[in-house]
Amino acid sequence: MSETQIEWSEEVAREHKGLSVRDFLDAMVGPIDRRAVITAARSGALLLNGERVGPSQTLRPGDLVQLTIPTEDLGRQASDAVRLLHLADELVVGTKPSGLPFDESRRGGDSALGRLGEQVSEQLGHVVRLRAAHRLDKETSGLVVASVGREAELALSAAFEQGRAHMEYLALIRGKPDMDEGVIDVPLSKRRKADTRLLPDPDHGTPSKTSWSTEEALRGFTLLRLTPAAGRSHQVRAHLAALGLPVVCDALYRDDDRLLMSELKFDYRGKRGRPERPLLARPALHAARFCFGELDFSLPLPEELEVVLRQLRRLRPLR
């Protein structure tokens, strides 16, 4: 042990009792890459009380967690991967990470649709510009559905309008609905054309419906699965806000812009002189599934949302 070069060490405080080594590292130096932690453990770079340990080991107050590698080696890099999942009959399905714009702005710039277009162009052997069947906000992750050519665009748009194609979203919300499932039927509109936010407008708004069901209930939070009928941009977010059940970290619709551990754990004590790092700092919304005829694509929650759910399951389970 005396010959081991310790790069980082931290004693487990009372508020972190019961965490796994992996989740403790995520809380203290994260966000971390789970695979990097496994690699560090296998190589002997991860120590608990001076002994090699696996990432799933449960911690007790007073335990000493140490790394013999720099903490940045465990860091989860911001994902900018855009993957092409399907290309057939001029229908395109791909993925978009949180933080990447869906489409380029008027001034140009990087975007998920642009990157998918480059991949499709390479496969087809000529340059194409994709036509989006829906839109995702910059901070929303999930599936992207688009078409190649005007005819395919019209056919896909009709399929969405007629309910033959649909997108399902997973949203972590604050609060608990009165029922396990239901339909939100609230017309929506913008106060001004330049506004981004949609608001309830029973008299003059565009008719909008979103069906929902409960995926997982927790104390103070609920994971919902939602399907907008011919969904508009922001429809899911606006409908949930109209019910007083906003998407977690959706500041545009009046929720806090960050989710903190101190909010979830009443006896939380942060490190003196160290600002608390948020568990999440983007809307907890994910385009999880696309169905169209025999096509059925699903995309798991990204790591940053899974981390939040793991903490909620530990700290806020239903008794």
Q: Which residues are catalytic?
A: 137
Take residue 77 and report the two structure tokens written for it: 């890099």
Report the alpha-carbon distance of residue 193 to residue 191 in Å, rounded.
Answer: 7
* Sequence-ordered list of residues with C-beta below 8 angstroms from that of 307, at least 6 positions apart, any chain: 23, 26, 30, 31, 279, 280
Helix axes 21-29, 34-42, angle to 10 degrees: 120
Phi first, then psi: give them for residue 107, nearest 5 degrees. Answer: -90, 5
User: Residues 6, 8, 9, CA angle at the centre, nearest 5°?
Assistant: 95
Contact (CB, 8 A) for 80 and 116: no
Report the alpha-carbon distance of residue 1 to residue 48 in Å, rounded.
Answer: 12
Query: Amino acid identity, residue 120?
Result: V
Take residue 30 and report the two structure tokens written for it: 């994260």
Take residue 185 and report the two structure tokens written for it: 């039927």
